[in-house]
Chain A
Amino acid sequence: MFPVKAADGSEDALRQVVIAEALNGLSRDHREVLTETVMRRRTVNEAADILGLPVSIVKSRVYYALRALRILLEERGVTT
């Protein structure tokens, strides 16, 4: 299904691609909030400054983004 080289670690390679794909399946707001926080190693307060949003919005967005992502991952057979 994925054009991933089936080297020694094919399962992991596939897993990484599946995660990247799931992230791309998120809405723009959700992807953005995860990118600006966990993937860039910023706290929600730091991300709120960068995004120009209240911290409370960033926190709740992180939560709903995670829930959405978990569903996208589960649909792809990745359990967390």
Chain B
Amino acid sequence: MSVEHTDVGAYALGLLEDDDRRAFEQHVTGCAECTAELHGLAGMRALLTGVGPVEADDGDLPDGVPDLLSRRRREDRRRRRGTLVIGLAAGVALVAGGVTAGAALVSPGGGTHQHGSPAADVLAKGTRHTATDPTTHAVAVVATRPETFGTEVGLDLAGVRGPLTCRLVAVLRSGRQQAVTEWAVPPKGYGVPGSRAHLQVHGGIAASPGEVSRYDVLIEGGGRLVSIPV
């Protein structure tokens, strides 16, 4: 199994099959160049996983941008106001999946409030951080907002199959942990083929945003789904 330095791109996006992935992981531990590249590319997976295929309808149209924009505007009109506030992750379903998936994203819990959940609100308006775990393939966006009580936290999670019970914790610079919230992932999962809706949860901690070094999504019974440095 030969490893090329350029494999770092496919690795960063989680596109390597198991043998190649393991080979690259071995390589990267001894390659400062790839380690640096990997760090630089870390955010790209979260960005791209949230975007559906963008080919112009007729292939390589030079005016593909206006085409995409008009298509997006049509989509916008078909959806209720407020869907876009959910952010980048929702873009997938909106472009690729259409109205139904978009509606599912607005209210994964079955609610109908069109201005979105508290999670959607903080994800739209808070300070966002993204991370992708190269092993579990989970993609997370954490958004935080300072509050008088501490920090309001929203999480958008995709690329996860269940059944799992998970919890989001804030790891403070002091080393202490504070729980944000817990939830279950059903077998069909979130943000995976066949189950496009992402999980969005919401909570808070007593610490201020500056006291937090990272957020971890932990799996009940051991293990970590993804860690989001902030």
Q: How large is the interface on A (under 10, 10 to 19, 20 to 34, 35 or more residues)?
A: 35 or more
Which of A5, A8, A60 contacts B115, CB < 8 Å?
A8
Which residues from 16 to 70 on chain A have a C-beta closer than 8 Å to any C-beta of chain B? 16-17, 19-21, 23-24, 28, 31-32, 34-35, 37-45, 47, 56, 58-60, 62-67, 69-70
Contact of B44 with A63 in the complex, beta carbons under 8 Å: no
> How distant is A38 from chain B, measured CB to nearest CB, in Å?
5
Q: How large is the interface on B (under 10, 10 to 19, 20 to 34, 35 or more residues)?
A: 35 or more
Which residues from 37 to 94 on chain B have a C-beta closer than 8 Å to any C-beta of chain A? 40-45, 47-49, 51-56, 59-60, 64-65, 68-69, 72-73, 76, 81-82, 84-88, 91
Contact of A5 with B76 in the complex, beta carbons under 8 Å: yes
Contacts of B40 in A (CB 8 A): 70, 80
Contact of A20 with B124 in the complex, beta carbons under 8 Å: no
Residues of B near any A CB (own CB < 8 A)? 4, 6-10, 12-17, 20, 40-45, 47-49, 51-56, 59-60, 64-65, 68-69, 72-73, 76, 81-82, 84-88, 91, 95-96, 115-116, 121, 124-125, 192-193
**13 A-B Cβ contacts within 8 A?**
A7-B84, A16-B88, A17-B69, A20-B72, A21-B68, A23-B54, A28-B60, A38-B15, A39-B96, A60-B6, A63-B9, A64-B6, A80-B40
